Amino acid sequence: MANFQPYLQSPLVNFNLPAQTVPADASQKVRANELPLLGYIVLRGELADAAVAQAITKATGLAVPAASRFSSGEAGVLIWQSPDECLLVTARAAVPALLAACADAFAGLFAQAVDNSGGLTTVYLSGVEHVTLLRHLGVYDFESVEAGDAVSTVLGKAGALVCRVDGDGVFLVIRRSFADYLWLLITKAAIPYRFAVAKLPSAGKSPFLRLVDAGSPAKRPVAA
């Protein structure tokens, strides 16, 4: 036991997605892959309170988004979840510094920042039929989801945040405990659409893809 080294694993590690990943091409009407091991910080506080909103911006450099929207910047993506809660999606390595910045900025306020990096993951769903696939999975009007929107809905029997950056696809932020279930649901529903586990596109201007460390393994050692 003295030599045991704790490590991080993707919630989808059992599917061995890196081994299944292929280049994207036009024949794949639906594509998906995971953005593994990102950082997730829950920010709680009354967002309508100017002091809380200013503190969040001071700590993260990001504007507090409007309802069902997200904002983005160097720190990552800030997603509105409720009138008193936002979710910050960031690089895993940035979490400690951001938590410390939030603790300083929130001093004296009824607000807090909680690290939930172990409880969530993100899947990128794309392809010309990705909206059709979403219709199979949930009852939300997915055609109405525009760039900058972040909607909370149910896919199958599991909750998810559906975030759209552009017309190419959506980012699904899902709970770790439902990750296996949702991945199997997606892959089964996508069979008629020549589904593929496709290589993630280059980051470009996507605030989510910029957070991915392209060289990171699905299993990463951490300090004990």
| The pair of three-digit structure tokens given for residue 173, joined into one six-digit string | 């932020």
Q: Residues near 34 by Cβ (< 8 Å), separated by ≥ 6?
A: 10, 12, 17, 121, 122, 123, 124
Q: Give me the DSSP letters along 171-190.
A: EEEEEGGGHHHHHHHHHHHT
Helices (H), the chain: 17-20, 50-60, 95-105, 130-137, 179-189
State how beta strands 169-175 and 120-126 pair: antiparallel
User: Where in the chain are all domains bearing CATH 3.30.1360.120?
Assistant: 16-37+119-209
Separation of alpha carbons 205 and 22, rounded Å: 22
Name which CATH class applies to 16-37+119-209. alpha beta
User: Where in the chain are all domains bearing CATH 3.30.70.1520?
Assistant: 39-117
Q: What is the pLDDT of residues 101-151, one digit of tens each?
A: 999 999 999 999 999 999 999 999 999 999 999 999 999 999 999 999 999
Q: What is the pLDDT of residues 173-215, one digit of tens each?
A: 999 999 999 999 999 999 999 999 999 999 888 999 999 963 4
Separation of alpha carbons 88 and 112, rounded Å: 13
Report pLDDT for 223: 46
Q: What is the pLDDT of residues 10-22, one digit of tens each?
A: 999 999 999 999 9
CATH fold of the domain at 39-117: Alpha-Beta Plaits (3.30.70)
Q: Is the pLDDT of residue 222 over 60?
A: no
